[in-house]
Amino acid sequence: MFGDYSISDLGAILAMQGFAGLILFSVYVLMALGLAIIFGQMGVINMAHGEFMILGAYVTWMTSNTVQHIAPWLFPGYFFIAMILAFIASGALGMLVEWALIRHLYKRPLDTLLATWGLSLILQQAYRSIFGAREVGVELPEWMMGSWQATDSIQIPINGMFVMALTILITIAVAYVLFWSSWGKQVRAVVQNRVMAGAVGINTEKVDRYTFALGCGIAGVAGSAFTMIGSTGPTAGQLYIVDTFLVVVFGGAASLFGTIASAFSISQTQSTLEFFLSGSMAKVITLLTIVAILMVRPQGLFALKVRK
Amino acid sequence: MSDETKPGLQSPLRRKLLMGMAALPAVSMLGRPAFADVPATSAVNTTGLAVTDSEVTVGILHSVTGTMAISETGSVEAEKLAIEQINAAGGVLGRKIKFIQEDGASDWPTFAEKAKKLLVNDKCAAVMGCWTSASRKAVLPVFEQYNGMLYYPTFYEGLEQSKNVIYTGQEATQQIIAGLDWVNKTKGAKSFYLLGSDYIWPRTSNKIARKHIENHLQGCKVVGEEYFPLGSTQFNSVINKIKLTKPDVIYAIIVGGSNVAFYKQLKAAGIDLSKQTLLTISVTEDEIDGIGGENIAGAYACMKYFQSLDNPNNKAFVPAFKKMWGEKTVIGDVTQAAYLGPWLWKLTVEKAGSFDIDKIAAASPGVEFKGAPEGYVRIHENHHLWSKTRVGRAKADGQYELIYETADLVEPDPFPKGYQ
C-alpha cells in the first residue's frame, strides 16, 4: 500500500501521524484529569462531567464575544483570560453542586451516578434555554489557527501544540497540588481513611468540597481548550463522557499516573489503527482491546494499594 | 367521488352536510368575512379529519430537545412562517391553519408515538416533520397505517417512496450526481477521497458517488473512503492520509458538530481550501454558523438552495424569515425545504378540492409551487420534487456564493438503476 509514495513522504506522514497521536493523548488527559480526581479520589461517579466541560466552552464563547465588542485589541490574547474564567465558573458550579447534592451521597456511590446524570440533563436544558439549541462557534485569534511548517512536507497544527502545552502545565500543577502540597496530603488522607483523617483534625467536608471543585474546574479548562477543535452545543458534553470514563477506568480509577498511561496507550492505539483502517473500525478495535484487557485486569492498568 | 363512499357512511355524511349548511348563514352573520367560495366542511372532509368550517389542524413534528434540536429548529421556524403567511393570505379552502406541535426529542420511538398521537387523537390533516432518516423510517409505518400525510424536508439517501409522504428535499441522485459531474467537468477532477459520518445517509450517498465516479466518469477513481462515528472530533489521521494521497477532490459528508472539528483541523493542518477542492453535501449555512466562515471559506457545497440565491421569491422570503425569527438567523437548504411543506400542501388541497388524504396523495403529482424561494418546484409522480441542483462556494461571512446551477429541473429518481 505504500508503493506509490516516496520515502520522504512516508517519513513526513509518520512524523505527523505520531503528532496526531500526541494531540489525541493530550485531549484525553485533559478530559480525564478532572474526572480522575473526582472519581478516583472521592469515589463520585460524575455523569455531569461533560456538562462542566461545556460550561467552560460557553464561558470561552462569551469571553470571545465580549472581548470583540469591548476591547478588540485584547483579542489575540483573550484565550488565556477565557481559560481562567472557565476554571472559575466550572469550579464555582462544582462547589455549589457538591454542597447541594453530592455531600449527601458520599456513602452511596451508585446514587451519585443517578443524581449527577439528572444534573447533566438539567444543565443541558439550562444551556439550551440560555444559549439556544444551535451550536455556537468560538472565533479564535489568527495565530492560533495556523500550522507550523517544520519541513517542506511536515506541518504541525498550532492549536494541537497549544493543547499539549496546556495539558503538560495542568498535569504538573495537579501532581504538585496532590502530592507535594499540604492540602494534597489532606486529600489523600481523607481518601484513605475518612474517619481517622477527621479525628486528626482535618476538616473533611472542606477537603471534599475543594477537591470536587478542582475536578470540575479542570473540566472547565478542558472545555475551553476544546473549543479550538470541536463544537459547542447544549449536548456536546455527552460526546466526551464515554471516552473520559474509558480512560479513567482503564487507567485504574484512583491513580493519576494510571490515567496518563491509559490515555497514552488508548490514543496511540487509536491513532495508529486509524492510519491503516477507517475511523470507525479503529474505534471498535480499540474498544475491544480495552474490554479484553479489563477482563484480565479488572482494576485497570495501575491500581492504588489501599489497606482494606 | 361520491360513488366511492360506502353506503354505511351516507347518513352521517348527510347529517354533517345539513349541519354545515345550517351553520353557514349563522357564521356569516357573526361578521366573519364570508368567502363565497368556501366549500362546506362535509364536502371537503369525508374522513373525519380535524377540519371545521373555519379551521384546519396540521401537525409539526420535530425535535426541539436532544441532539437534533440544533438542526431541526430551523425547520420548525420555516414551517411556522409558511403557516402564518398562508393564514394571512386567507388560509386553505377558506380555513385558517392551526398547528399542534409535538417534540420528537431526537428519539425515534418518540417520533413514532407522537406521529400516532397527531394522526389518531388530533386527526391532523397533514404533518410537517422529521429530519433524520431514522426518524422518518420510524414514523413511516404509522403514516401508512393511519393514512396520514407527511411533508419531509431533509435531503436524504433515497431508496424510498410512499403514498403518504411528500419529500420536499432532494434525494441522493439529484444532489450527488450533478455535483460530481460539475466538479469533474469544471475542475478536471480525477481522484476523489470520500469521507462521511458513520450512518445510513453518508454511507448510501457515498455508495452512489463511488458508482458514479467509477462507472460513469471517464478515468476517475476513488482513492480513499472513510467513516467516523457521529460526534467524532479527531480527524488528524485522515487529514494526514489526504495529504499522502493528494486527491483532486475531498468529498465530505460529515454531519453535525463533527464538521466544526473537521474544518478547523483541516485548516490547522495547512490544507488551503482555495487550492484544494472540497465538495460537501452536508454543510448548510446552519452548520457554517458553528464551524466559523473563516474555517470553511473556499469549500464547495452541492444542494438545491442557498440563502444568497438571487431571485424575487427568495428576496421576499429571507427578510420575512428574519423578521419573524431574528436578524441573526441563517437559512439553510433544509430550512427552505421545510418552508415548502405547508405551501405544497395548501396548493394540493386546493387542486384536489378536498382535505382527504387519498385525494391529496392522488392530486400531488404535478402540483407546482411558483413562489418557492429556490425558484420553482413541481411534485413528481414519485412524490419527490423536481428541483435544480446548485453548487455554492463558502465565503468567510458564512454565506454561499452561487457558482453553478443546472439549466433545468433535475428529475428525482429515488431508485436509481445501477447504483444500488
Band (pLDDT 50/70/90 cuts) for residue A306 is low
Band (pLDDT 50/70/90 cuts) for residue B7 is very low
The pLDDT assigned to B23 comes to 45
Q: Which residues does residue B76 pair with via DSSP β-bridges, in sequence order?
A: none
The more confident residue out of B171 and B234 is B171
Does the pLDDT at position A231 exceed 80? no
Does the pLDDT at position B83 exceed 80? yes
Band (pLDDT 50/70/90 cuts) for residue A145 is confident
Band (pLDDT 50/70/90 cuts) for residue B315 is very high
The pLDDT assigned to B236 comes to 84
Band (pLDDT 50/70/90 cuts) for residue A305 is low
Of A23, A137, A158, the CB nearest to B292: A137
Does the pLDDT at position B36 exceed 60? no
Tell whether B226 is within 8 A of chain A (Cβ). Answer: yes
The pLDDT assigned to B31 comes to 40
Do residues B333 and B284 lie in contact, with contact meaning Cβ atoms separated by under 8 Å?
Answer: yes
Q: Find, in chain A, the residue whose alpha carbon is nearest to that of B234.
A: A24
Mean pLDDT throughout A278-287?
85
**H helices, E strands: number in chain B:** 14, 15
Q: What is the pLDDT of residues B250-289, one digit of tens each?
A: 999 998 778 888 998 898 888 889 999 999 999 999 889 8
The answer, as to whether pTM is greater than 0.80, is yes
What does the alpha-carbon distance between residue A300 and residue A295 come to, in Å, rounded to a whole number? 9
Tell whether B272 is within 8 A of chain A (Cβ). Answer: no
The pLDDT assigned to B27 comes to 42
Do residues A184 and A202 lie in contact, with contact meaning Cβ atoms separated by under 8 Å?
Answer: no
The pLDDT assigned to A154 comes to 77
Mean pLDDT throughout A198-213?
92
Which residue carries 472530533 as its cell?
B233
Phi, psi of A138 (to 5 degrees): -95, 125
Do residues A227 and A159 lie in contact, with contact meaning Cβ atoms separated by under 8 Å?
Answer: no
For residue A280, the chain B residues in CB contact (below 8 A) are: 198, 227-229
The pLDDT assigned to B26 comes to 41
Cα A286 to Cα A100, A228, B195: the distances in Å are 38, 25, 21
Does the pLDDT at position B29 exceed 80? no
Interface of A with B in 252-271 (CB under 8 A): 270-271
| Strand ranges inside B243-389, DSSP E | 249-253, 277-280, 300-303, 368-369, 377-379, 385-386
Strands B165-167, B191-197: pairing kind:
unpaired
Which residue carries 431541526 as its cell?
B72
Element (H, E) at B60: strand B55-62
Q: What is the pLDDT of residues B359-408, one digit of tens each?
A: 999 999 999 999 999 999 999 999 999 999 999 999 999 999 999 999 99
Do residues B355 and B125 lie in contact, with contact meaning Cβ atoms separated by under 8 Å?
Answer: yes
Tell whether B413 is within 8 A of chain A (Cβ). Answer: no
Band (pLDDT 50/70/90 cuts) for residue B6 is very low
Mean pLDDT throughout B176-188?
93
What does the alpha-carbon distance between residue A228 and residue A87 come to, in Å, rounded to a whole number? 16
The percent of residues in chain B predicted with pLDDT above 70, rounded, is 91
Mean pLDDT throughout A208-227?
93
Q: Find, in chain B, the residue whose alpha carbon is nearest to that of A135.
A: B290
What does the alpha-carbon distance between residue B140 and residue A141 come to, in Å, rounded to a whole number? 47
Mean pLDDT throughout B94-109?
94
Percent of chain B that is helix, strand, coil (3-state, to 5): 45, 20, 40
The percent of residues in chain B predicted with pLDDT above 90, rounded, is 71
C-alpha cell at B203: 454511507
Q: Which residues does residue B278 pair with via DSSP β-bridges, in sequence order?
A: B250
Per-chain mean pLDDT for chain B: 89
Supply angle C-alpha B127, B131, B135, rounded to 5.
80
Mean pLDDT throughout B139-160?
95
Mean pLDDT throughout A286-305?
84
Does the pLDDT at position B123 exceed 90? yes
Phi, psi of A101 (to 5 degrees): -125, -60
Q: Length of chain B, please?
A: 420
DSSP code, position B118:
I
Mean pLDDT throughout A242-263?
87
